[in-house]
Amino acid sequence: MVTGRVQQHGDNVIIQAELVDVEKGSQLWGGQFNRKLTDVIGIQEEISKEISEKLRLKLSGEERQRLTKHYTENAEAYQLYLKGRYHWNKLSPAGSLKAIEYFQQAIDKDRAYPLPYAGLADAYNELAFLTALPPREAMPKAKAAAVKALELDEHLAEPHVSLGWANYTYDWDWLAAGKHFERALALNPAYPDAHSFYSLYLGALGRADEALLEAGRAQKLDPASPATDHIMAVQLYLARQFEKAIAQCRKTQEMDPSFSATYSVLGHAYAAQGMYREALAEYEKYSTLTPGNPFALAFVGYAQGRLSDRSKALRVVDELRVASKQRYVPAVSFAVVYVGLGDNEQAFTWLDKAYEERTNFLAYLKVQSTWDPLRSDPRFADLLRRIGLPQ
């Protein structure tokens, strides 16, 4: 695994990089590069060559070309792309919107640069997941951007991951999604997000052991990423290893206390164990960190319903209805609150609406503990069938 640190001082950049044997925990190579910011692309090539020589890799001409390949000659476009990825990794609507700005600026600098198109695809995927945009608005844009990236370079792993995500969370084409993830991993097994998103796909299918293995691989490849740590917590929760999920969430919070998504998983893990007061406290923190997020508010209402505080839970329903007149509020948000209230009829009514919206939250219907009170109802089995999930 290659790790490193970048420091910018005016027009100069200092890059410290090292190649680490993950299994043994030992350094295989290390180096420091002092260059002008405009030569950042050349540094990439220099590092790749040094690693290749250090390991004495027996590469074919094509493999050597791929190792040293960079996708743009425009240093400014490259920097804009990196800024986009930084904001996308915040896993927040504001972060994704800012990422789109940077990715589009990178494209404006170099329209033949494929990576910003893959970045756009991921940002639109994330905006749908975070309910900032309706799926039917965001997901076609995500897929179009990923397809454009592959048109520019069919050997790029990133857009295959983007399409895999869109295939299973929006199209509910589970077979196509699996093929895209497998192709991404074949093209670039060192790409952490390929392992992370493949783990989410496997987790949604109920293949918990495989999902945890992939999440662990992502952690090894990117151990300093709160987002990668968070996905491990998600997998532990989906695998119903709730205590381990809680412990993993606490580790993520130590790394970045402002990483909002971890509070939602903490709430889910507590709620799954019947610890609704603890769950409510975490959901309230999640809602505070993501103001206006209908999912966060919905889970506050869910926990209140479980605590038999019916009036407060119904107040949340009213708040969601008011909010829906101003912005997109996914139908599944209402279903969440009604499950908390024990009103299964209303829950199924809103789940049917969520199905029509193609809300990607439904991709996890098979495994998420929130829906356990509905599982014995034949309508639940029918919904799983429509989404293409095996029972």
Distance CA 65, CA 360 (A): 38
Which token pair is 85?
């990825």
Tens-place pLDDT, residues 126-178: 999 988 999 999 999 999 999 999 999 999 999 999 999 999 999 999 999 99
Decide which of 244, 259, 274 is a domain's last residue.
Answer: 259
Q: Is residue 273 part of a domain?
A: no
Indicate whether 66 and 92 sit together in one domain.
Answer: no
Indicate whether 31 and 132 sit together in one domain.
Answer: no
Tens-place pLDDT, residues 259-309: 999 999 999 999 999 999 999 999 999 999 999 899 999 999 999 999 999
Report phi then psi at 382, rounded to 5.
-65, -40
DSSP 264: H
Residue-level pLDDT at 63 = 47
**Type and span of the H or E element at 7:** strand 2-9
Report phi then psi at 377, rounded to 5.
-80, 130
- Chain-centroid distance, C-alpha 346: 30
Which token pair is 382?
């029918």
Q: What is the pTM of this model?
A: 0.84
16 - beta bridge partners? Answer: 5, 32
Decide which of 70, 95, 116 is a domain's last residue.
Answer: 70
User: Terminal CA-to-CA distance of the chain, rounded, Å?
Assistant: 38
DSSP 370: G
Distance CA 106, CA 123 (A): 14
Decide which of 156, 185, 214 is a domain's last residue.
Answer: 185
Indicate whether 163 and 216 sit together in one domain.
Answer: no
Residue-level pLDDT at 22 = 46
3-state DSSP assignment of residue 377: coil
Q: Looking at 71-80, 204-213, 325-334, which range is the least confident one?
A: 71-80
Rounded to the nearest 10 degrees, the angle between the axes of helix 192-204 and helix 157-166 is 20
Residue among 359, 362, 388 at smallest CA distance from 374: 362
DSSP 260: T
Q: Is residue 281 part of a domain?
A: no
Q: How many CA atoms lie within 13 A of 112 on its CB side?
A: 5
CATH number at residue 195: 1.25.40.10
Range of the domain at 64: 1-70
Indicate whether 304 and 332 sit together in one domain.
Answer: yes
Residue among 389, 329, 382 at smallest CA distance from 363: 389
Which of the four pLDDT bands, split at 50, 70 and 90, describes residue 16?
A: low
Indicate whether 151 and 173 sit together in one domain.
Answer: yes
- Cβ neighbour number for residue 253 with a 10 Å cutoff: 18
Q: Is the pLDDT of residue 25 over 70?
A: no
Residue among 345, 330, 324, 338 at smallest CA distance from 370: 338
Residue-level pLDDT at 39 = 61
**Type and span of the H or E element at 28:** strand 26-36
Burial 212-233 (b: 16+ CB within 10 A, else e): bebbebbbebbeebbbbbbbbb
Burial 274-307 (b: 16+ CB within 10 A, else e): ebbebbbbbbbbbbebbeebbbbbbbbbbbbbbe
Indicate whether 326 and 355 sit together in one domain.
Answer: yes
Distance CA 44, CA 50 (A): 10
Tens-place pLDDT, residues 315-367: 999 999 999 999 999 999 999 999 999 999 999 999 999 999 999 999 999 99
Indicate whether 195 and 250 sit together in one domain.
Answer: yes
- Based on its alpha-carbon atoms, the radius of gyration of the chain, rounded to whole angstroms, reads 22
Indicate whether 194 and 174 sit together in one domain.
Answer: no
Indicate whether 82 and 166 sit together in one domain.
Answer: yes
Number of domains the chain is built from? 4
Q: Is residue 267 part of a domain?
A: no
